[in-house]
Amino acid sequence: MTQDELKLAVAQAAIAYVVEGEIVGVGTGSTANFFIDELAKIKHKVKAAVASSEATAARLRGHGITVLDLNEVTSMPVYVDGADEITAQGAMIKGGGAALTREKIVASVAQKFICIADGSKLVQLLGKFPLPVEVIPMAHAVVARKLNSLGGEARLRLKDGQPLLTDNGNMILDVHGLQIADPQALEATINNIVGVVTVGLFAKQGADVCLLGTSEGVKTLVF
């Protein structure tokens, strides 16, 4: 099976977790896009969606799905999103699509985080994928020095030769070379650096379920 076929398979499996008549939180990225396209087929069964990025909001609206501002929402049974890496304990690295802050905010409102990922994302140790950190632009150099002192090598993410700006108008530092043995501790440490908006470690509140696409079918990991 191709990676896209695996992503489609987990996106289809995630539809079973969508609660009829309720609001669904929707992540960002290529796997989340497959999920949005599947959600469109049952859109009459959901009340509305909350998006974790402008790109996701546009795709949802393109399918005629109502997108609500998170401030209007108090209850959300599930949030469905991909991951860049996930451990067998449900801790994740996210932010490859630069949407980590909004993803973490929307996920914090949901009762359950359903991670959808192809099998290549399951790792024993987080950190081979560079850890994204969203930073306030005026602080990117000082934050980079502090991240380097933790043992990584922070590089400013660029787009067309310029610093990439997130939907929130901030920048992303990608930290290379980390071996993250204690994801919860590192999440707290990096979130405490002044100038950091969010770190793309989702460990304190990780996934509740991971639907993992493999050549033997979709495996369900429950944490």
Q: Where on the chain is the footprint of ligand 5RP (CB under 6 A)?
A: 27-31, 81-84, 94-100, 103
Tokens of 166: 């997130």
What type of residue sits at position 175?
Answer: V
Q: Respond yes or no: is residue 103 known to be catalytic.
A: yes
CB of 188 to ligand 5RP, least distance (A): 20
30/205 with CB nearer ligand 5RP: 30
CB of 118 to ligand 5RP, least distance (A): 8
Selecting among 38, 85, 103, 134, the annotated active-site residue is 103
Pairing of strands 110-118, 76-81: parallel
Q: Which residues pair with 210 in a beta bridge?
A: 115, 221
Residue nearer to ligand 5RP on the CB measure, 74 or 214? 214
Q: Where are the beta strands (DSSP E) in 160-204?
A: 162-163, 171-176, 196-199, 201-202
Q: How far is CA 78 from CA 16, 39, 113, 170, 176, in A?
A: 11, 13, 6, 27, 31
Nearer to ligand 5RP, 103 or 139 (CB): 103
To the nearest whole angstrom, how small is the minimum distance from the Cβ of residue 85 to ligand 5RP?
9
Hey, which residues are catalytic here?
Answer: 103
